[in-house]
Amino acid sequence: MGVEDGTPPQRIQRRRVKGWQLPEGAVIVTRPTRWGNPFEVGAMVQQFPGGYAKPYEGSAPPGVYPGDADRPGGYEIRPVADRADAVGLFRAHLLRYPALLIPPIRQHLHGRDLACWCPLTDAYGNPVPCHADVLLRVAAGEEP
């Protein structure tokens, strides 16, 4: 389990198979836990200049909207394209509110294995992007 046994913390894929158990000391970081990524593939987001976005639940159609007095830079309403996009939005979210979000991650997740539903690799053996990788870096004292 990471630091306690001398191995670096890692991402673990949760499974729904008989007999599978969460390793001792691992932390679940899926939605709806406080560590879950609020950006889901296919869900709509309102994205602002600079990369920051927030989940969008309004009724406006996807598109680019010009700025106004409240949002001088404008914004775009769009779906989250894929896992890499969702992870990028999560990273931008942490960078937008570092003083609020990063200290609890370091306090509660440092040295812990993190469990998410995302697969570890794709069919070709390539790593699959997951917000838990960002959490592992932040928990280790690195930048998102």
- Per-block mean pLDDT, blocks of 10 residues, the chain (144 long): 73 95 96 96 94 93 86 89 97 95 97 97 97 98 94
Q: Does 144 map to a domain?
A: no
- Contact in structure between 16 and 10 (CB atoms under 8 Å): no
Q: Domain containing 16: what range?
A: 2-39+81-139
- Model confidence, pTM: 0.90
Q: Which residues contact 139 (CB under 8 A, 6 or more apart)?
A: 9, 105, 106, 109, 110, 111, 112, 114
Q: Which residues contact 30 (CB under 8 A, 6 or more apart)?
A: 14, 36, 115, 116, 117
Q: Does 124 map to a domain?
A: yes
55-78 pLDDT, tens digit per residue, is: 999 999 999 999 777 767 899 999
What's residue 1's pLDDT?
52
Q: Which residues contact 17 (CB under 8 A, 6 or more apart)?
A: none
Residues 90 and 134 in one domain: yes
Residues 57 and 108 in one domain: no
Cα 83 from Cα 23, distance rounded (Å): 25
What's residue 4's pLDDT?
60
